[in-house]
Structure 1
């Protein structure tokens, strides 16, 4: 799952894909590099200036329309916590709503149920874009799991079929580094909820703080965290560096026997046993 942020204040690209043509180009390049899915965001989760619903729609809808027209086989999701934005995005071609608020908008479950889209239910605490108190949990994994289970039940009650539910524990979202490391270490406890498990660990602060690396030097740590998550049950990985991630994931799949090698030559020919 590649990431394209049409925002002027993205923590990753600092607005490099804010212009529509650049955002479209970034999405198509991600597909060429092996991404199966592109996640489109118009408002970062972290604190910052308010963005109106109308502005968020103006950012994401034209981008979704352009991507789905160019690559109809590519899965496109919209990263939003607003039901009105989700409704317009799905109408434009998005197949998934990636809700970082975990159904915080009271209309979200209803909108998704009626639309036929899938929903990513993510754990976070309180509204995005605002300053919050320090993160505190008794048992972060147990609390995240209980939250996701309750929101899954809410989605089912609203009429969203179980096969359209995806869960995300929300690494770093209203959590400190120790919380995110604990979630990664015990991720199997989230995976056993039964829904496909998505993780978004790429370039996050828990990696930077663990390794003492700035954002521009977090790729090795991101791939290591992603690998740990896949081995613990994650089946969708939301990552910025597509080519490197595709190679890492395909290697994991090869080791686990899920994907055959691209070629077999080493020690398979009688004159080449070296």
Structure 2
């Protein structure tokens, strides 16, 4: 059984938990910047907590295909006030979605408990900073970078290359002094992967368990749902829930989603069904 520890907080991952997406950005692919103001972001924090989120993933820089970088100062201005507001809820876990060491440091100081980095701590100084902060860190696989990752992604063996990349990053972080139990892994659905790659990855998710670390999955509303079903972003709930439940059945511990209430409901039905098998 996995658990996360951050300061004096402990989170059991004996059953899947929901991580709510809080994008404090004007150019998010899904919510169109509707939470980019402090007031709206705070309302969304309250809403998803009430709906049953365990973790809030707060991000100030879009990582959608074609996204461009924002400055450290701009990212801090977006996320720190929202983290401070969320930290007033003592039972909630807060994740900072960033690749910048300076943002990691100030976010944890403001109340964040987890670092979620789509670049797997490859920015200069990121490994040292995350190790020093001594909080759980999610390392994600991405082929290329957001500006170009969907230009022409290709693999000889998608699942094996993801496992190889993450294994190298894990070894690097551990060699730098990071406790292995602080690491979470994310195969990076939609980050430098075609439609076929994404569904092969979903089907073969159990192969990630060879690393014996918690697995975070984020496929909510992504193009792998929209392109398959020919649905706009605001019509992808059913597909997103199907993907989340498949991932949970495949052993994913953390589900990063936009639609918290619906995902919590689906997980509750799945858990009740599984529990009845063991009576």
Q: Residue 272 of structure 2 aligns with which residue?
A: 254
Distance 1:231 1:210 in 2: 21
Q: What is the TM-score with the length of structure 1 in the denominator?
A: 0.91
CA RMSD of the aligned region, Å?
1.8
Aligned to 1:50: 69
The equivalent residue for 1:187 is 205
State how far apart, in whole Å, the 1-side matches of 2:77 and 2:212 are: 35
**Deviations 1:230-270 (Å, cap 9, x if unpaired)?**
1111010001001100001111211222999xxxxxxxxxx
Deviations 1:197-233 (A, max 9, x none): 0000100101111111111111111111111111111
Aligned residue in 2 for 1:217: 235
Match of 1:253, SS state, is helix
Alpha-carbon distance in structure 2 between the residues aligned to 1:156 and 1:149:
11
- Range moving further from structure 2, 105-114 or 55-64: 105-114
1:149 alignment counterpart? 167
How does 1:124-203 map onto structure 2 within 5 Å?
124-130=142-148, 133-203=151-221
Q: Aligned partners of 2:55, 2:69: CA distance in 1, in Å?
A: 28
Asked which structure has the greater RCO (Cα within 8 Å, sep 6+), the reply is 2
Verify: 1:14 aligned to 2:21, yes or no: no
Cα distance, 1:125 vs structure 2: 2.2
Of 100-109 and 237-246, more deviation after overlay is shown by 100-109
Q: Is residue 250–residue 259 contact of structure 1 (8 Å, CA) maintained in 2?
A: no
Aligned position for 2:101: 83
Q: Measure, in 2, the Cα distance between the counterparts of 1:259 and 1:195.
A: 26
Query: Any conservation in 2 of the 1:101–1:126 contact (CA below 8 Å)?
Result: no
Q: Distance in 1 between matches of 2:125 and 2:48?
A: 32
Conservation of the 8 A alpha-carbon contact between 1:44 and 1:129:
no
Unmatched tracts of structure 1, length 5 or more: 261-274
